[in-house]
Structure 1
Amino acid sequence: MGFFDTILNAINDLTWGWALIPFLVILGCFFTISSGFVQFRFFKRMFRVLGRSPDSDPNQISARAALLVSVGGRVGGGNIAGVAVAITAGGPGAVFWMWAIALIGMCSALVEATLAQAFKRSEDGGAYRGGPAQAIVYGLGQNYRWLAVVYAVCLIASFAIGFNAFQGNTVAGAALDSLSIPRLYTGAFLAVATGLIVYGGIHRIAKVADVMIPVMAIGYLGMAVVVILLNITGLPGVIWDIVANAFGFREAVAGGVGAAIAQGLRRGLFSNEAGLGSAPNVAATAYVRHPVSQGITQSFSVFIDTIIVCSSTAFIILLGDVYQPGAEGVDGVVLTQQSLVSHVGSWAQYFLTAAIFLFSFSSIMYNYYLGENALNFMTKKPIAVHILRIAIIGIVFLGAVAPGATAVFNFSDPMMGILAVVNLLALMMMFPIALRLINDFRSQLDSGMKRPVFDPKAFPDLDTDPTAWPDAPK
């Protein structure tokens, strides 16, 4: 066991330790500049997805539904506990760098979702399936299938297995601490709920997300707004602290600017997942008229996750008096919980437990679909999907009932590191394709077309599926 731990730690050091985060940042900046700052150019257009399209097909996964599923996956423990860790270790300045990496990551998310949409395939019943694995095979060619397989294996290992165990553990721990509910009961409830969802496939996941995610987001953001209004006079000072600590005008923790940048970038990337290759699997399921349309939607998902939800947690912490810069002790979800209690009263700990449950359960649904999509790429046998579903139900239960058992899943971080490296390599090689699609979308808008349409015949060199684009000119 020690041998495997050594290997996994080495992989983790080689990816997350020093190489991957600069790689993500540099590549995100390159995409942003090369695309003409596309995430800002199309920013107003992002909000259109919040409404329901009048001509949407109820049998299809809409852009809005895909957005909610991906938001449900991105918004999780990182938005509650991760932000608290970033502030504790990096000071208030870490929040600024979380904002910065989100603005850059919005472009990476747009590019990877656009490519996933471009190379998606139609399935029986009119559903669509795609993602980075399919994009690698159809965008780069069969010679790179081995790279797609490496990606798929790492996606299953990190998200479907490891992260689902962690989510179950997070919910059970919160329920035990605030409600004194034994882990066994929480684990059994989560296992049953997970089973009901995963056996319904992506359509049931999308329907549940369509109801649960808005309730989750509005509830948590509403609480943040209450806290901000109660402390409105202190808001300018908090914003100044964030900026001052980010640029070293004022140091809150040991390490100064370096600690703020490191923690902000790391926690921001972990939270919004931009460039890691996870969300495109969901993005490819949506029915849209043009691949870039869903790219814009996924870019908006990063904005919601970090600029809105993570900022809400940051303001809850920084507007209170529980957090003391440089002090040791209160950390993670406990810091967020105690800060919220200090603002509105002890009942807030129960509210936060409910929020953690919704955040974590939405992530479980999301993580399951990522695993299913990766497995579908490797094998079409129905028995394989059934085995995966049963395994995930068991993993959620195990993670919930056994606090120490999640140590078994410590391979998640290095697996996600390899996953991100593979995805970023593929994005670099396929970026010229994404740029052609972005320019096509932009030229249609410039010609006066309000809703651009993708025409596979205009890109004969791309291995696209014409049946996946029913709106294309006949």
Structure 2
Amino acid sequence: MDLLLKVNGYLYYPILIIILIGAGLYFTVRTGFLQISMFGESLRVLREKPHEGEVSSFQALMVSTASRVGTGNIVGVAQAICLGGYGAVFWMWIIALIGGASAFIESTLAQIYKRRSEKGNSYGGPSYYIEVALGSRKLGVLFAIFLILTYAVGFNMLASFNMTDSFRVYDFFVEGKTTWIIGGILAVVAGFCILGGGKRIIKATSTVVPFMGIIFVAMALFMIVKNIAYMPTVFKNIFSDAFNFQAIFGGLAGSALVQGVKRGLYSNEAGMGSAPNAAASADVSHPVKQGLVQMFSVFLDTLVICSATAFMAMASGVEATEELAGAAYVQESLATVFGHYGYVFISLSLTLFAFTTLLGNLYYVDSCLNYLHKKSPSKTFMLCYRLVAILLIFLGSSMKMELAWNVADFLMALMVLVNIPSILLLSNQALAALKDYKEQVQAGKDPHFIGRDIGLDESKLDYWK
């Protein structure tokens, strides 16, 4: 544990902070600040309908949002505040704002290099654009392995732990016994959808994600209005603590900057290379359309839902302490208004968040398993894998908090270290596609993409010819 903590310390400060913020700023400038200039266009694209039987931009958004909008939006935010201070919220915002450009680049590339299945559906992700565009099968395999470990093991076990941890406030909770019961129930319910495959995952997430997001934000708005007189203090605490340079430049693992980057990355996943696996499945007329949709997903996750968690907790006046790190901080905050029902609301929210996180995560894992096999694995292999995935969900419920978070932090750092350099090398192609898109919009057209128009080798493309 101590070794893992030390390694994560070096990975996140200064390596990943420099890589994530540096790449995000570079993409922001090169795209002409599209997070602002094309935000309205991203909303318009979301309303487009796909061809019959294909995955829509909205459905692809919901799969990626199912993974992004998870227990990290409640527990991750609360932990960042309790361990890093109120300023962690500011750095989560920064990671989301500039990370939106990174999300655009990686998802546009995934669309450009998406592959066509035997059934005519599209699929893809970082492993595919790394192999096809960069010409490195070995690096593509390495990324696929990192993603499988991150999501099937690290993130899914963490999601299971976070949900189970929210039940510790109840009198019926018995350490050891209750965790296994709750973990078992979650594993069985998630297993029903997991064993149904990708189509069932898409259907479940596109139904549950919008519902749970609206309810959660509504509760946050109620808490903000209820404690409106305290909101100026909330913003003062966030901005004053965000620039605690003594802690930041001392490289402290518990500084607001480091915690904000860790939990911001865990929550919105911008630049990690996960969302492109969902983005590649969408049926759109131009790759940039799905890039814009995934950019919007980052904003939805962090600027809306993570902020909702932060505001509802901080507005309550409950002091953020290390002892409350996790679900307990938000539960105690809601309890100031709703009493025992505040505990129940967070437990129910985490149950839904954990459920959709598990489904979105395993959708990504399915994509990478297909890549490693160069085709869809056999039914026997997929059944065995899904049974193992269900077992890991069950085991995750009884992990220790420090181990659960450190394993997840380490694994997602490995994904970033492969994906960000790759999209930096390929970014000119995504930028050329963006230029092509803007020119068609300005000409009053509904943008349609042809690879050779931006100088792509069509022999490397399954689509866009």
Structure 2-normalised TM-score?
A: 0.90
- Matched letter for residue 390 of structure 1: L
Equivalent position to 2:107, from 113, 118, 123:
113
Root-mean-square deviation over aligned CA pairs: 2.7
Deviation, 1:165, is: 1.5
Equivalent position to 2:143, from 141, 151, 154:
151
1:398 aligns with 2:398: no
Partner of 1:342 in structure 2?
336
Deviation, 1:160, is: 1.2
1:354-389, CA deviations, whole angstroms, 9 ceiling, x for partnerless residues? 100111111101111111111110113314322221
Contact 2:183 2:395 in 1 (8 A): yes
Contact 1:72 1:362 in 2 (8 A): yes
1:128-167, CA deviations, whole angstroms, 9 ceiling, x for partnerless residues? 11000001111112xx111111101111111112211121
Partner of 1:354 in structure 2?
348
Structure 2 Cα separation of the partners of residues 83 and 128 of structure 1: 34
Partner of 1:299 in structure 2?
295
Partner of 1:172 in structure 2?
164
Per mean C-alpha deviation after superposition, the further-off stretch among 350-359 and 118-127 is 118-127
Equivalent position to 1:312, from 302, 308, 314:
308
Contact 1:228 1:316 in 2 (8 A): yes
Contact 2:187 2:390 in 1 (8 A): yes
Contact 1:122 1:129 in 2 (8 A): yes
SS where residue 369 of structure 1 aligns? helix
- Matched letter for residue 169 of structure 1: F
Partner of 1:446 in structure 2?
442
Q: How does 1:454-473 map to 2 (within 5 A)?
A: 454-459=449-454, 461-463=456-458, 468-469=463-464
Q: How does 1:54-73 map to 2 (within 5 A)?
A: 55-73=49-67
Equivalent position to 2:238, from 235, 242, 248:
242
Contact 2:62 2:205 in 1 (8 A): yes
1:208 aligns with 2:204: yes
SS where residue 74 of structure 2 aligns? helix
SS where residue 119 of structure 2 aligns? helix
Q: 1:232 to 1:408 in 2, by over 3 A?
A: closer
Gaps of 5+ in 1: none
Partner of 1:80 in structure 2?
74
Contact 1:286 1:294 in 2 (8 A): yes
Contact 2:154 2:411 in 1 (8 A): no
Per mean C-alpha deviation after superposition, the further-off stretch among 460-469 and 368-377 is 460-469
Deviation, 1:50, is: 5.0
1:103-151, CA deviations, whole angstroms, 9 ceiling, x for partnerless residues? 100000000000011100111333211000001111112xx11111110
1:434-462, CA deviations, whole angstroms, 9 ceiling, x for partnerless residues? 1111111111111112x311123424533
Deviation, 1:403, is: 3.7
List structure 1 runs of 4+ shifted beyond 6 angstroms.
none
- Matched letter for residue 324 of structure 2: V
1:318-362, CA deviations, whole angstroms, 9 ceiling, x for partnerless residues? 1112125xx553322111110011133321211110100111111
Contact 1:164 1:364 in 2 (8 A): yes
Deviation, 1:409, is: 9.2
Structure 1 Cα separation of the partners of residues 171 and 221 of structure 2: 25
- Matched letter for residue 162 of structure 2: T
Q: 1:58 to 1:396 in 2, by over 3 A?
A: farther
1:268-326, CA deviations, whole angstroms, 9 ceiling, x for partnerless residues? 222111111111111111111111101100001110111001111111121112125xx
Q: 1:376 to 1:267 in 2, by over 3 A?
A: same
Give the share of equivalent positions with the same residue, in percent.
37
Partner of 2:228 in structure 1?
232
Q: 1:13 to 1:234 in 2, by over 3 A?
A: closer
Q: 1:464 to 1:365 in 2, by over 3 A?
A: farther
Contact 2:334 2:342 in 1 (8 A): yes
Q: 1:12 to 1:259 in 2, by over 3 A?
A: closer
Contact 1:77 1:360 in 2 (8 A): yes
Per mean C-alpha deviation after superposition, the further-off stretch among 340-349 and 235-244 is 235-244
Partner of 2:8 in structure 1?
12
Structure 1-normalised TM-score?
A: 0.89
Per mean C-alpha deviation after superposition, the further-off stretch among 291-300 and 117-126 is 117-126
- Matched letter for residue 149 of structure 1: V
